[in-house]
Chain A
Amino acid sequence: GQNIDQPTEMTATEGAIVQINCTYQTSGFNGLFWYQQHAGEAPTFLSYNVLDGLEEKGRFSSFLSRSKGYSYLLLKELQMKDSASYLCAVIGYGGATNKLIFGTGTLLAVQP
């Protein structure tokens, strides 16, 4: 079966660092995506990890551990505009290659 877990909500302070976790159990694994979705808007791509380790992209970094079925998204120097939902998604092998399985998303509220 497929199962992707993320916390439902998180709150953080402007200027701080926040880590959003994602754990997954899937029948096949060929990479993990993070998407950002502002209220009323389409999700937009943030990162893709397929190898273990940390990928850094400006204020955002994404980490993957395949042996633990675990990823996190790290947001540094938080800004008010980072208030959004963050979606974790896994892509599989073979017939599942073309489709992403999404978690339920983590709603991040950044406070002044």
Chain B
Amino acid sequence: DVKVTQSSRYLVKRTGEKVFLECVQDMDHENMFWYRQDPGLGLRLIYFSYDVKMKEKGDIPEGYSVSREKKERFSLILESASTNQTSMYLCASRAGTSADNEQFFGPGTRLTVL
């Protein structure tokens, strides 16, 4: 059974803290993605990676960085958390470059920054 897992379902952090969100997939997928989801704004792409150590900015990369040291793991880092980064964070993975490949999502991490 295909699986994308995220390290936490709920996380509460303070302004200025460094925050790590971890994502692991067991499908040997080349592509991994980090989105945030906010009411009325839908899913917005933060960063994605198409190979180990490769990364590309999505639509809203400001305030975030990522790391992909191993194929199965993609980490999202908030260098200095701010209240406007309170959101639901979704990780996803997808195989290869074929357009019709399904994208699989993790269960999400609801991050609250106080």
A interface residues with partner B (beta carbon < 8 Å): 8, 30-31, 33, 40-45, 48, 50, 87, 89, 91, 97-105
With both beta carbons as reference points, the residue of chain A lying nearest to B41 in the complex is identified as: A104
User: Cα distance A41–B58 when bound, in Å?
Assistant: 23
* Chain A residues in 8 Å Cβ range of B35: 102
User: Cα distance A48–B35 when bound, in Å?
Assistant: 20
Nearest 3 CB-CB pairings of A with B:
A104-B42, A42-B105, A102-B43
With both beta carbons as reference points, the residue of chain A lying nearest to B43 in the complex is identified as: A102
- For chain A, what secondary structure do more than half of its interface residues adopt (helix, strand, loop), or is it mixed? loop
B interface residues with partner A (beta carbon < 8 Å): 4, 31, 33, 35, 40-45, 48, 50, 58, 90, 94, 97, 99-100, 102-108
User: Cα distance A47–B42 when bound, in Å?
Assistant: 19
Beta-carbon contact of A50 and B100 below 8 Å: yes
* Chain B residues in 8 Å Cβ range of A99: 33, 45, 48, 58
> Which one of A8, A42, A48, A98 has the highest number of Cβ atoms from chain B below 10 Å of its Cβ?
A98
